[in-house]
Chains A and B, each alone.
Chain A
Amino acid sequence: MKPIGLVIPVALGLIWEGAVQYGVASGRLMPPPSLLLHATVALARSGELWSHVTATMARIGLGFLFGAAAGTAMGVLNGASPFMRQLLDPTIQALRAIPSLAWVPLFILWLGIFETSKLALIAMGVFFPVYLGVLSAIQGVDRKLIEVGRVFGLTPMGIALRITGPAVLPAWIAALRTGLGLGFMFVVAAELMGASEGLGYLLLDGQQMGRADSILVAMIVFALLGKACDSILVAIGVPLLRWQDTVRARL
């Protein structure tokens, strides 16, 4: 990220800080940056912030792993086999049309209130964009490049590994990034549905206790973690996509 990206948040923070310091606003419902810093330091010193962050990141990590693996496998299966696509894709598309939060009661009923239902919800949020990204990327691979593989003697497996795989890679990484973003969205929903720790729980706790500073700290930490995880995915993708003419534009 270039320093210019910090200009707007820093400027808004300074304006708000000034407005509260000079009595233009009370800062009760929207605490100024100095108070948020104070609240963050207090949460960090008590160790509470780290336990919330660890719980949330463990859920996102596992949910993303399961969702991305399942989405990729299903995308590859349906992309490679017209029969499987005809068999499975209509059902998957119908399931995708159900708002994911509508699954919450069923997941709780089936899997209980603890971790399994939360992971299932996050994994489902990640699954659909990854599945769609991989499927459409496989279907969009240039037929002419496949023909090159055939003419030069590649087996179907060789074509999958040496042509389809690299051709799909940019779209796969883009789909993983979308899935990760949805993973962060769904972890909040998962933690709101009954958790004793996690940044989502911190949000809920802040609302119930009237602590706007806790809510804002949780939101800022979410933003920082989300950006950091996305940057890691981009960093992993850049060396693999150096061949692209538009690697910067795509990522």
Chain B
Amino acid sequence: MTQLSISHVGKTYADGTEALRDIQVRANEGEIVAILGGSGCGKTTLLRLVAGLDTPSAGTIAVGGETIAGTHPAISAVFQEPRLLPWLKVGANIAFGGQRLEATERQRRAEALIERIGLAGYGGRWPRDLSGGQSQRVAIARALIGHPGVLLLDEPFSALDPFTRSSLHELVLGLWAELKPTILMVTHDVDEAVTLADRIVVMKPRPGRVHESMTVDLPRPRDRLTSAFEMMKRRVLRTIDRSLDAERPPAARPAGPGGASPWL
């Protein structure tokens, strides 16, 4: 279990575009933190910085108290699209995530994970033979085979149908309960954030900044049909509305506090 600290992180690209400004987010050990916000608020940029795929222009990122620069063995990721290597069979794709493991241990974990993600018997198949949901299961297994301290999820369920998405939520929560990685996930789906996260960080755009952080104080497993779940969702939606209001000119804002949320 590993704590993740993002301190005063900013990102300005070479063309002068400021994507992120003074981001401060902390994910405690074994905590699931969802970064929520509309398009262009820098969610994915933030995740890329934590993954070490981009370099912050300001601030620091620390894992388990150690400041990191670039990719780190304790950090693993699942991307928006599965990004399986098409020339490796399913079993080898999962094993690919365990580069730092000894070969027999890697093989043992890959075989166990194939069963755990419900794809027993698929180890010898090519990625081209998998559905979108199955591919994303393999990507999740690949990310977890090395038992990372921090798992980054970059909208990995956004392209899936609601049934597949729901079953993948269960899979991620099950694996999280077993391995307890700290999870930093990016999503634009409020329902998903409330279902999965312990804490939701709402971002506002241009440049991306943290608007508000809120704790999701609901027991697990979470039932989407309860009034508590619905109230939490409304609270998050109101926060998002406020974050957007702050960016709009006064004339474009909703009539009053009772105005309908564009998210509902």
Interface residues of A (CB under 8 A from B): 144-145, 147-148, 150-154, 158, 163, 166-167, 169, 242-245
Contacts and interface: CB of A to CB of B under 8 A. Distances in A.
B53 A154 contact: no
B97 A152 contact: yes
B76 A243 contact: no
Given A144-B79, A163-B85, A166-B85, A153 B71 contact: yes
Given A243-B128, A245-B128, A153 B83 contact: no
B197 to A, nearest CB: 22
Which 5 A-B residue pairs are closest in the complex by CB-CB distance? A166-B87, A243-B87, A153-B99, A245-B128, A148-B83
Nearest to B145: A152
18 contacts: A144-B81, A144-B83, A145-B85, A147-B53, A150-B71, A151-B52, A151-B71, A151-B75, A152-B76, A152-B96, A153-B99, A154-B99, A163-B85, A243-B86, A243-B88, A243-B126, A243-B128, A244-B86
B145 to A, nearest CB: 9
Contact of A152 (B81, B99, B127, B128): B99
A151 B85 contact: no
Nearest to A143: B53
A167 B71 CA distance: 22
B77 interface: yes
Contacts of A166: 85, 87
B73 interface: yes
Nearest to A166: B87
A152 B94 CA distance: 11
B109 to A, nearest CB: 14
Contacts of A148: 79, 83, 85, 96
Interface string B39-56: 000000000000111000
Contact of B73 (A153, A158, A163, A244): A153
B220 interface: no
Contact of A150 (B53, B86, B126): B53
B156 to A, nearest CB: 13
Contacts of A242: 126
Contacts of B97: 152
The interface centre, meaning the residue of B51, B52, B96 with most chain A CB atoms within 10 A of its CB, is B96
A144 B86 CA distance: 13
A151 B53 contact: yes
Nearest to B71: A150
Given A147-B53, A148-B96, A152-B146, 12 more contacts: A145-B83, A147-B79, A147-B83, A148-B85, A151-B51, A151-B53, A152-B97, A152-B99, A153-B99, A169-B87, A243-B128, A245-B128
